[in-house]
Amino acid sequence: MPSPTRFWSELKNSLQDRTNAGLFRSRRTWDHLSPRLVADERGQQLVNFGSNDYLSLSWYHPSPCTPSPCIDGIPENPATREGAGASPLITGSTREHDELAKEIARFEHEEGAILFSSGFAANVGVVSSVAGSDDIIFSDRLNHASLIDGCRLSRAKTIVYPHNDLEALQKLLKQHRHEGRRAFVVTDSLFSMDGDVPDLKVMRRLIEENDLIGILDEAHATGVYGVRGTGLVEHLAAESDRWIRTGTLSKAVGSVGGFVAGPKTLIDWLTNFARSYIYSTAAPASQLRRTLAAIRKLETMSIERDTLRSNAINLRQALRELGLCVGGADSPIVAIYATSVGEVMAWSHRLRERGLLVPAIRPPTVPDDGCLLRISMNTSHTSDDLTSLVDAFR
Ligand SMILES: Cc1ncc(COP(=O)(O)O)c(C=O)c1O
């Protein structure tokens, strides 16, 4: 079985070439002291000519009861500053970014982590920076738009395999693997519309046997799967140094932003080559503090995760007993398939009349033959809520 060493050493060598050319980039951490002053890691104060905060409004607070002295709505206390004012490699990275990245790395049991402005940006940035025009990508037919766009931007040859059909994937690998210098499988872990998951253990075997790297979007699985809540790889015990896993802070974490946790080489690579990271403003500080607390909390919520999934199993069973075509196994995304756009819209409308909001999902979000009602469950739903839902379908 080939080892993934070649992939990682190629990344390392390219990074070394960058370093030799004086082009290697790494994130600096800045303390923003006032609208005009920053301090570097050693505490040296500098007048900041590196921000896009042209009117100093990242410091503006509309409330007159700001907890610190305030001149024309601009407080002197940096803790109340909002916008980062610049992209992460210019002056946008602060202690809060550093702390959150370290916390995510600890949570994921990885060497490091990198923050993106959204999960969409993380996916686009990862796929388009690790794959190139000499490579081949095998991509699930129902992948999220951000993975699809990442494949397009990478310029790699992309072969789409039928949804979660790993036998079909195996056949396609036999036919096409040799067409790419490097090869990738790209997939959602928990599919956002259909609520189902790939068999990651089988996929890991295919990845190992065919010398692939797997890019796995854990967006909806973070917080939902795994005892610690890190996602489907943890839940299925499918760990491998051939996965590159992406995540979002906007679903179960309840905030906004995307991330990748992984070995230092990967984090250095993304810092240097992921354009959606390099050329986009860093996240605001208040959001980062909240996110950090949410991740710590999420890690302790295994009982809630179990409840959520057992409620999802029960709901699916009740809906199937009514003769409905229901997707997935135990995830909190429960898809109910309709036969046409008209039918799915009518269902959604009638549920709404009964006080139940269940969005209808139509093309192009899903393929033409895939109209569905998407029920997203959460731990605040009561058993009465779930009974009302089943009664409405009945
Ligand atoms: C599977 C999947 N990946 C990525 C994203 C993008 O995440 P974000 O909303 O943080 O940009 C979404 C959000 O819709 C998603 O469903």
Ligand 1 and 94: CB distance under 6 A: no
Ligand 1 and 144: CB distance under 6 A: yes
pLDDT 10s per residue in the chain (394 long)? 556 778 999 999 999 999 999 999 999 999 998 888 999 999 999 998 888 888 888 888 776 555 555 555 555 565 567 889 999 999 999 999 999 999 999 999 999 999 999 999 999 999 999 999 999 999 999 999 999 999 999 999 999 999 999 999 999 999 999 999 999 999 999 999 999 999 999 999 999 999 999 999 999 999 999 999 999 999 999 999 999 999 999 999 999 999 999 999 999 999 999 999 999 999 988 789 889 999 999 999 999 999 999 999 999 999 999 999 999 999 999 999 999 999 999 999 999 999 999 999 999 999 888 899 999 999 999 999 999 999 999 9
Ligand 1 and 250: CB distance under 6 A: yes
Q: What is the DSSP string of 206-274?
A: HHHHTTEEEEEE-TTTTTTSSSSS--HHHHHT---TTEEEEEESSSTT-S--EEEEE-HHHHHHHHHH-
For the entire predicted model, the pTM comes to 0.93
Of 298, 313, 348, which marks where a domain is finished? 298
158 & 64 share domain: no
* C-beta of residue 354 within 8 angstroms of C-beta of residue 392: yes
* C-beta of residue 247 within 8 angstroms of C-beta of residue 105: no
100 & 207 share domain: yes
- What is the Å distance from ligand 1's center to 64 Cα? 37
Q: Which domain holds residue 47?
A: 31-80
Flag whether 85 is in a domain.
Answer: no
Instruction: Please tell me whether residue 70 adopts helix, strand or coil conformation.
Output: strand
Ligand 1 and 218: CB distance under 6 A: no
Nearest CA to ligand 1 atom 16: 192
Flag whether 170 is in a domain.
Answer: yes
Ligand 1 and 220: CB distance under 6 A: yes
- What is the Å distance from ligand 1's center to 126 Cα? 14
Ligand 1 and 377: CB distance under 6 A: no
Query: How far apart are alpha carbons 265 and 129 in whole angstroms?
Result: 13
Ligand 1 and 374: CB distance under 6 A: no
How many domains does the chain contain in total?
3
CATH number at residue 118: 3.40.640.10
* C-beta of residue 184 within 8 angstroms of C-beta of residue 210: no
* C-beta of residue 130 within 8 angstroms of C-beta of residue 184: yes
- What is the Å distance from ligand 1's center to 254 Cα? 12
Ligand 1 and 119: CB distance under 6 A: yes
- What is the Å distance from ligand 1's center to 150 Cα? 13
Cis upstream peptide for 364 (omega within 30°): yes
Amino acid at residue number 264? K
